[in-house]
A and B are shown apart, each in its own frame.
Chain A
């Protein structure tokens, strides 16, 4: 077995390389995952990244990876007719805020008997984080599915709420609020993926 190449921090200056649209260059991915052909309910996932002092993290990079409306990932082994790419990338703004325009994903298989609750996989990078941190965004209006989700149920119940995005119906496009707390009393659950 070869040894893995160590991770290093993304540092403070990644934006012109990884989200170059902020510099007037074309990027491969953005925070908008939908187009006219995309099936499913349009949602916005919105929130803030917060450090251990309660301050906004203004130089984080967030990547999301999610299934389509029918619970399928757009992957080389998947059906090529899929139009939903399922991958998005955004950096936080000067207030530590981020936002993705996407669809609510369907349920993905866990084992042959069970399905996972709808969720979005989230990867967090920033200066001061030496290995990117993985978490999952679940949805507050999926109570029944959440209660049977094997990953969510593997998390200490006292910390489970850090993985649930709260639905806000007050806007034209329903919004799910999901803050990422890197440390502190409400530290987000991160997984050893």
Chain B
């Protein structure tokens, strides 16, 4: 019944399960080789959801959790397109984002970092791509964040992105980084992908065109998912 498959995961782009500089992989990354699977309906289908699930304010993290004041920090606009690897737009797909506040503090219950919580900033949002695959969010630039991976370890500023895509095979969770961040060369998570060029695709581009005068700096971040192979493999 399978009349098409999605392109394979490109393991030159994606990180390995074991990456020693990132210490948590040592007990958590699977060790056995992955078992190959020929795509069936199970892999090439995925959940649907409607615009009714999404509150429009949830693309503006500076306003979606306000308690009467404005979120603190440097306002930014992040926009881009979700494409498949054939360059076709992925429309109507759900993006969920979460991030630290401008001081580098997550609202998460177990975050112990000694930096202030912003009462007007929750740090999570969700939105759908339009017909052209484009999304647009407003937030504040997240701060750097210390972690226990190695002495004096700091995560570079980053925004977590979760993208569903058309089916479970296209599922992607990734992180967006900022250009020129001096912490990038030291970050074992950013550097876990084997291909240097692939790594650079995780760094957004600053854009004066997207920047709104007197309001917010603009960044562009495109995301490429696995695409559907048009060649029928079985009839």
Q: Spell out A's residues near B (CB within 8 Å).
A: 1-18, 20, 23, 25, 28-29, 51-53, 55, 57, 59, 63, 65, 67, 73-76, 78, 85-87, 108-112, 116, 119, 121, 123, 125-134, 136, 150-151, 154-155, 159, 182-183, 187-193
Interface residues on B, range: 35 or more
Q: Is the CB of A3 within 8 A of B10?
A: yes
Given contact pairs A16-B124, A110-B1, A1 touches B34 in the complex (Cβ within 8 A): no
Q: Is the CB of A112 within 8 A of B17?
A: no
Select A133's contact among B13, B30, B111, B190, beta carbons within 8 Å. Answer: B30
Interface status of B32 (Cβ within 8 A of chain A)? yes
Q: Is the CB of A12 within 8 A of B1?
A: no
Per-position binary interface string of chain B over residues 1-39, scored 1 when its CB falls under 8 Å from any chain A CB and 0 otherwise: 110000111100111110100111111111110111111
Interface status of B117 (Cβ within 8 A of chain A)? no
Interface status of B103 (Cβ within 8 A of chain A)? no
Kindly specify which of B42-50, B66-74, B178-186, B206-214 makes contact with the partner chain.
Answer: B42-50
- Of chain A, the residue at the smallest CB distance from B202 is A6
Q: Spell out B's residues near A (CB within 8 Å).
A: 1-2, 7-10, 13-17, 19, 22-32, 34-43, 45-49, 53, 83-87, 94, 96-98, 100, 106-111, 122-124, 126, 160, 162, 167-169, 171-175, 189-190, 192-193, 197-199, 201-202, 222-226, 234
Q: Which residues of B contact A187 (CB under 8 A)?
A: 30-32
Q: List 7 A-B contacts (CB under 8 A).
A: A5-B222, A6-B198, A12-B108, A73-B42, A123-B168, A128-B28, A192-B8
Q: Which residues of B contact A52 (CB under 8 A)?
A: 26-28, 31
Q: What DSSP secondary structure best describes chain A's contact surface?
A: loop
Q: Which of B25, B49, B168 has the most CB of A within 10 A?
A: B168
Bound CA–CA A13/B113 (angstroms): 12
Bound CA–CA A189/B171 (angstroms): 19
- Of chain B, the residue at the smallest CB distance from A82 is B48
The 6 nearest A-B residue pairs measured at CB: A17-B98, A128-B24, A128-B28, A87-B47, A130-B15, A192-B34
